Structure 1
Amino acid sequence: MMHPSLPVSLIALLSIFSDVLGAPQFGTSSARQSMSLTRRMQPSRNASESAEYAKNLRDATIAKYSAQRNQKRGTGENLMVNQGLDASFYGSLAVGTPPYSFDVILDTGSSDLWIASSMCQSTCAGTGNFDPAKSSTFKNLNKNFNVAYGSGEATGTLGQDVVHMAGFTITDQEFAVVTSTSLNFLVNPVTGIFGLAWQSLASSTAMPFWQALASSGQWTQPLMAFQLTRFLNDSQAGGLEPGGSLTMGYANESLYTGTIDFQDIPDGQASYWLQQITSMTVQGKSISLPTGSASYAAIDTGTTLVAGPPDSIAAIYAQIPGSQPGTGNWKGFYSYPCDTVVTVKISFGGPSWSITPDDFAFTSAGPTSDECYGAFYAIPTSTETPSWIIGDTFLKNVYSVFRYNPPSVGFAALSEVALAMNGKAGGIPSATLGANSAMFTVEPSAAPLTRSFSAVALVISAVLATLISFIHL
């Protein structure tokens, strides 16, 4: 859904943001691991390139949401990578026997898992693709798979194999092996999408990995949590930076302060991670919002900015002196004087959460312009999809928790430890796959898991992990 250099690659990174995964049965792990997120530096763009990028961000959001529809417990963490100056956040998983690692966008706005196949040569080359022939445990389900995104499509077939993520293993996870995508849909090193919404949204109809673990009681606590880093305002940021973490089965108390404010998903509608926006202020002034479902918002780690209904977006910018609606590729966006410090606060029925002015200022109108475009933009309303899409512009400002039972979303204030990670350059995190492979170092693109001792030890470890999984079935 969004990415690297300029429009084309950025668009590709954006596409990546929108899909998911599925999972049938499962093994277990008691490891407590972390998955780090990585991020990429924002390329310099001229005014027309920035406008094209903005247009594709908006189009991708519209297309994404108009198209969708007693075992041992444990905890795990997956360190993430921040790519494209907060454009997207990805983590790692491992597939097959022996296991190979892959980088995937972590997306709470969709529910399918798919990975590019080694057969996808023309449009997927260079991303370290999955070769089913190299896995002794892969099963071809002989079912077609197709998913459409705002900037492209992905097609292939469904299969089953062993999948490792954040210390957990599912021995027959269903996922799509993609053999064709739109041109430039994938950008190295990302190889696919890991959906973290509910099964009802899955194009494959398969149960997502996270939901299979939570529903079977494999997590110590029935929740997963995100901390995302900020590099958008760092002119020295590199192409990929540490992105924060995704934890499964627990919330990392070192990354937040106070209590987590949970609000149930409205009416038990477990599809998107829905929340109702109950209040919003801009520059200290309240914005009038409709009640009920007209103010439902999808909390989406796979969307870069914040999208909302035209009337509400217009009301937001009406509180910012000098703001003007965009035209052409900037349709739906608004500009405002760059020297204006914009403060926005949102409540979902509990405390109000602030968005920093740095996150609200999406981009300047041009290298020499004193006008900036805001990160809130308008999209058409629909009875089939949420009115609001709350993406990383908001989520970088809170510790976000997604709870399986009762179905709910929680937010907490970030700790000093978490805030200190913003703008702190570092190496790209190594893949962190969990208890059974906690001491393994994974090479970046589809490389087999390696360790300081012999490959024989690795194979034995993988076999034991599989046997343990079967014992717990």
Structure 2
Amino acid sequence: MNKFLLVSVLPVLLGILTFNLCTATAAVGGASTHAFNNNGIKRITMQKVSRKCGNSTDSYKCHKKHNHTATTGTKRRRSASPTTSTESLLDENWGTYWMGQITIGSPAQIFNVDFDTGSSDLWVPSTQCGSSCGGNHTFNSGLSSTYRAWNKNFYIRYGDGSNANGTFANDTVTIGGVSIANQSFAMITSAQGFSTRTADGMLGMGYQSIASGGELPVIWSMYLAGELSLPLFSFWFGPISTGSDTGELILGGYDTTKYTGCFTYASVSVPGFWEFVADRVSLTTGSTTNIIAKSISAILDTGTTAAIVAPTTYFNMINTLLGATYDPNTGWSIVNCQTKPLSAFPNITVTISGVPFVLTPLMYLEIVGNSAGYTCYSLITSIDQNDANGNPIWILGDFFMRRFYSVFDMQNNRIGLALSTSYSSVQTVPSTLFQTTTTLFPPTTTTTKTVTTTATLPSQCYNYTTISDATRLTTAGPAAGCDQNVFSSTSTNSPTWVRFVSPGGTQLATSPPNSGNGNVCGTYASGWTNATYPAVVGQSVNAFACFAYNGNPCFGYVYWNIIINCNGFYVHGLYGPGGCAYRYCTQ
């Protein structure tokens, strides 16, 4: 096919993570207006805060924070031109919650707050609150010339039982250089469940309908006052495996360097939380997929630590498939990571607007401990609450959002997710975990010998097609090569399993071929993957594969691909692209 026809071949494919760049951009209103631009951006650099929880297993419960505001019984100066503001976020207590700096009052009083999309109130400790409020800063109303009292009591209770009491007031609030005058907030005089927290307070970013006093939330005040360049905000969370403790909140835009492909959108179904309907939740091990639930009401919530919070019935189903046991001492579930191979754990997929968002095992498991002993926790937990329409709610929390860049679109009432640059970063696995260990006691000796064997290899390591085509190498020139019919159709549930061998390379290209211009490896749109190849024998990873063409590293299609370490070589699970000339490249 003529290479100049590539631009027109952009269908929506079923079952595979497929981003249509043009459609996604148009739906947002144009990348040039919504995208991040360093010009005029004010960044606030955060300093690292020491943990108040230790590293022991017993203190792991410190990592369990607010599930979200309860849904029943409790409520939970104009600039010259609209701006885009970037706020750095700090990951406190190894993933417990994300906080950033704001100021209140004139002159400004500084606070570090938890930015929470699962609630709508802004509160900080007053000078009357003692140690129960936690944090390091208190608001002194007598020092602010713009302070206005509001004779109204404040109370909020969160899903984990913590609560805060105080009174409402009004003052100037500034986030990342964007200010709003006469903003309602609460000054806390007493609290429960916050004494060990480093953050001073909470800044809710939900809808006005769940604000405790019916006040307009800060982010909405800024939007309606025209203070934001665009009516949206976005989050990016850094990868925990690198030791990074930073993230980023952008008001009025998003950072195109922090994600790949385009956004998948879902409309808000019940304005209050950022709630939407997800197609389904499923667990897949090998070729077996278990659908846990369909058409679920889900909340995207920065105020929840867990990867996924499910209603108890579904949580129990997931735990059964994981072989997990609930630990009441920590509030999490423990899995066997000593003698159970990693390949035996399923991928967990949340399908949204037809697009699968996949968590591989190391994305929902947390390894805690040291060489003296490790414990592995599942970051899936439970809660039983209904939304305003009586639907059981699911929550997608921080450990889910680490993998996907998130956009909250206030004008169009929708959330958007794209593959984060942090997607593939996972914890380093200690060599003693995820393998079978057998202790033998020979009858003729008193010596105890431990024999360690590697995990049984997945069946794909024995059933694959070998490809040795040297024209697939990134050093090979262009041609009209096409993989559309070489690999499984995207209408199937199973990819084609292949092993690349010499002289045709051994792995997929791991960077955009020809600096994103394509026109190499025997095709025009040259395929590559962002995968970090698995180092553990038997381990599989999911990553995206897309096709570089004419300076666009992800032109046209983005697919999930699966890569398995088969003890000396890799096998790849690939799907055929939806058009020609698209072809996978090797190195």
Correspondences of 1:64-463 after superposition (within 5 Å): 64-65=70-71, 67-68=74-75, 72-124=81-133, 127-149=136-158, 150-182=160-192, 184-185=194-195, 187-188=197-198, 190-231=199-240, 233=241, 237=243, 242-266=245-269, 269-284=270-285, 285-292=288-295, 295-305=296-306, 306-320=308-322, 323-329=323-329, 333=333, 335-338=335-338, 339-341=340-342, 342=345, 343-364=347-368, 372-382=376-386, 384=388, 386-415=392-421
Q: 3-state SS of the aligned residue for 1:319?
A: helix
- Taking a change above 3 Å as real, the CA distance of residues 251 and 291 of structure 1, as seen in their structure-2 partners, is same
- Taking a change above 3 Å as real, the CA distance of residues 144 and 326 of structure 1, as seen in their structure-2 partners, is same
1:40 touches 1:82 (CA, 8 Å); kept in 2? no
- Report the alpha carbon displacement of residue 387 of structure 1 after superposing the two structures with TM: 1.8
Could you tell me the percent identity over the aligned residues? 23
- Report the alpha carbon displacement of residue 360 of structure 1 after superposing the two structures with TM: 0.9
1:35 touches 1:246 (CA, 8 Å); kept in 2? no
- Partners in 2 of 1:143 and 1:332 — Cα distance? 38
- Partners in 1 of 2:68 and 2:179 — Cα distance? 34
- Partners in 1 of 2:413 and 2:273 — Cα distance? 11
**Bigger mean CA deviation after superposition, 367-376 or 114-123:** 367-376
Query: 5+ residue gaps in structure 1?
Result: 1-29, 424-473
- Report the alpha carbon displacement of residue 134 of structure 1 after superposing the two structures with TM: 0.6
One-letter amino acid of the structure 2 residue matched with residue 164 of structure 1? T
- Report the alpha carbon displacement of residue 180 of structure 1 after superposing the two structures with TM: 1.5
Query: 5+ residue gaps in structure 2?
Result: 1-38, 428-587
Q: 3-state SS of the aligned residue for 1:97?
A: coil
- Partners in 2 of 1:362 and 1:125 — Cα distance? 26
- Taking a change above 3 Å as real, the CA distance of residues 356 and 85 of structure 1, as seen in their structure-2 partners, is farther
1:36 touches 1:91 (CA, 8 Å); kept in 2? no
- Report the alpha carbon displacement of residue 183 of structure 1 after superposing the two structures with TM: 6.3
Q: 3-state SS of the aligned residue for 1:276?
A: strand
- Taking a change above 3 Å as real, the CA distance of residues 40 and 355 of structure 1, as seen in their structure-2 partners, is farther
- Taking a change above 3 Å as real, the CA distance of residues 117 and 259 of structure 1, as seen in their structure-2 partners, is same
* TM-score under structure 2 length normalisation: 0.58
* TM-score under structure 1 length normalisation: 0.71
Higher Cα Rg, which structure? 2
Tell me the alpha carbon deviations over residues 12-66 of structure 1, each in whole angstroms, 9 at most, x when there is no partner.
xxxxxxxxxxxxxxxxxx95334567676663224x554x557x65xx4277455
Is 2:18 the counterpart of 1:44?
Answer: no
- Partners in 1 of 2:283 and 2:205 — Cα distance? 31
Tell me the alpha carbon deviations over residues 154-173 of structure 1, each in whole angstroms, 9 at most, x when there is no partner.
11111111111122111110
- Partners in 1 of 2:387 and 2:207 — Cα distance? 19
Q: 3-state SS of the aligned residue for 1:254?
A: helix
1:298 touches 1:388 (CA, 8 Å); kept in 2? yes
Aligned residues: CA RMSD: 3.1
The one of the two structures with greater contact order (alpha-carbon pairs below 8 A, sep at least 6) is 1
If each structure's helix is expressed as a fraction of its own residues, which one has the higher value? 1
